[in-house]
A and B are shown apart, each in its own frame.
Chain A
Amino acid sequence: MSNITIRLPSTRRTQNQYETGTSYLVTPGDVITEDTDYMRGHGTYCTGDADDKLYSSVAGVVERINKLICVRALKSRYTGEVGDIVVGRVKEVQQKRWKIETNSRLDSILQLSSVNLPGGELRRRSATDELNMRSYLNEGDLISAEVPQVNVDGILSLHTRSLRYGKLSQGCLVIVSPSLIKRRKNHIHNLSCGASIILANNGYIWIYTTQHSSQTEEGDGGFIISNESIPIEDREIICRLRNCIKCLAKRSVVLYDTSILYAYEASMSYKVKQLLDDEVCDEIVNKTIYLLQQANVGNSEY
């Protein structure tokens, strides 16, 4: 028996008990300061006129570090750094490369020479390999890759040289803003709740079942794709994680393995579909923020 709820937007109450102070928000074209002492950082510009006023070029929060003023945008595209892990979707199959969409300003490129051949073979790619590109990665497939190089124009070159990366099989993709993903040493986690997660730097989070493969500890480079049905207990864990991450992203909580696990534990008292409610979502996020603050009080560093 399903329950269809329809309600008025004005009855939606959002609790913001953990919001601290007022931030200095600006929109593009706003004057930040008229003082000429400051150095211009990202997100600012000044017109060549005599008045020397500092304007903001993005919508965001003003940050001042000594004499440097910059504006951190609230919503922005992903700008790649060398060494980042990204999850992307294949957009186009071209002559010797794939064009991958990674939520950046321009599509990223995955060269045919940058992927591993099945079984870890090391050889020069032949014309047959080129013709068989579609059998490995077709349009719409998701891959996980690393960024070894950022070109001058901002286009990322990706590679899936390690067996940890490659085509992704069954799982659930959650898209959040890239600024919410905390930069850490490790982005691929096997969470203690029973699922695995890839927190890619470009904001694409991939949740999947933990591979219990006996072959390699690292992975198989995405050559073995199983389209079998996943057991319902594992599926429930994945769906619950997905809803928790969506709740945290809605309230702009920084995402990393600890915050996600706290949110998961806080959500255990509800059914998975109840996590779609705004009130339940607020409660879980408040609990998570509280636990994170407690943890910070205990440790001196993250």
Chain B
Amino acid sequence: MAKVMLGESEKWFIIHGIQDDMRNDGRSCEDYRHIEVETGVVSNTHGSSRLRLGSSELLVGVKVELGSPDPKAPTEGLIHFHVDCSPNADPSFQGRGGEDLSANISCILTRIYCNKSSIDLNTLGIIPHKQCWVVHVDVLILECGGNLLDAVSVAVKAALHNTGVPNIQVTDGDEGTQEISLPDDPNDVKFINTINAPVLVTISKVGSRHVVDASAEEELCCNASLVMGVTKRGRTTGMRKMGGGSLDPESIPEMIGTGKNIGRQLHISLDKLLKTEQGMAEDIEKAGYL
């Protein structure tokens, strides 16, 4: 992640602050920084979103294309996640510098989405064994301000919510083949149902307490964290421990409980915002990068 350096005394200041439930910017251990989300910002994608969390800035674009399904799941479509760390975020991301981080994040996203209920992949199938929709989710990280995983997952959910898959017709052609015809109207789309899409919550252990939404400085003071994918109903779709430090087995259930609570709240706020945005008139100007 971005290179922030801290002296030993500053680290102690942060650790003691977290112990007293007052972080450097006055938040308590379970508070998130302000999040700003906007969907439909990139016009040549099927769905997109832009997110700002503290000083982290991301852009997600979703494109769908026709492809052949996995032989093990012939009626289902496919989702691929790809993360790109822009050198805008950190000079060390130039060339192949950001590959480790990208691979890590896309691996975690794949993990939390690869189950039957997150996105109903059957709705993305067209002709069993032959054609299906392949959804490519591309995340571009423009600024790293701590807590990237949570930000990426919220942005991905918003982008998928905004993704419209064209309504195609399958007709029988000559000689028993089937033909696919795309609609003429570009607005004739079917939106992906993201009601069960999970969101990542990172719970970082600092000292003897855990914090949610760690800033870049707080991440330097924590040596172990738990990342979990949580759905709207509070069910966990995936979990991973990050960092080289150790977690006390007695504190893990508490961290998981916090993660589920926070995940539920994130979903409530995000769904409310997406509904508001959908209800707004088409001609309201998007803020974009102003």
Contact = CB atoms under 8 A, between A and B. Distances in A.
Interface of A: 2-10, 12, 89-90, 138-142, 168-173, 225, 227, 229-230, 232, 235-236, 239-240, 242-243, 271-273, 275-278
A266 to B, nearest CB: 16
A230 B13 contact: yes
A227 B9 CA distance: 6
A229 B287 contact: no
A168 B22 contact: no
Interface in B270-287: 270, 272-273, 276-277, 284-287
B273 A232 contact: no
B26 A239 contact: yes
B7 A232 contact: no
19 contacts: A2-B28, A2-B31, A5-B32, A6-B270, A6-B273, A7-B37, A7-B273, A12-B36, A90-B7, A138-B7, A142-B10, A172-B13, A227-B8, A229-B16, A229-B20, A235-B22, A242-B25, A276-B33, A276-B34
Nearest to B6: A140
Contacts of A10: 38, 284-287
A58 B265 CA distance: 46
B266 interface: yes
B177 interface: no
Contact of B7 (A3, A141, A235, A239): A141
A8 B273 contact: yes
A35 to B, nearest CB: 35
Nearest to B263: A4
Contact of A139 (B5, B19, B22): B5
Given A229-B16, A272-B22, A273-B27, A7 B9 contact: no
B274 to A, nearest CB: 9
Given A5-B35, A171-B10, A227-B9, A271 B26 contact: yes
B287 A5 contact: no
B208 interface: no
Contact of A243 (B6, B12, B26, B276): B26
Contacts of A7: 34-37, 273
Given A4-B35, A6-B273, 18 more contacts: A2-B212, A2-B265, A5-B32, A5-B35, A9-B287, A12-B36, A12-B287, A90-B7, A138-B7, A169-B9, A170-B9, A227-B12, A239-B17, A239-B24, A272-B22, A273-B28, A277-B34, A278-B34
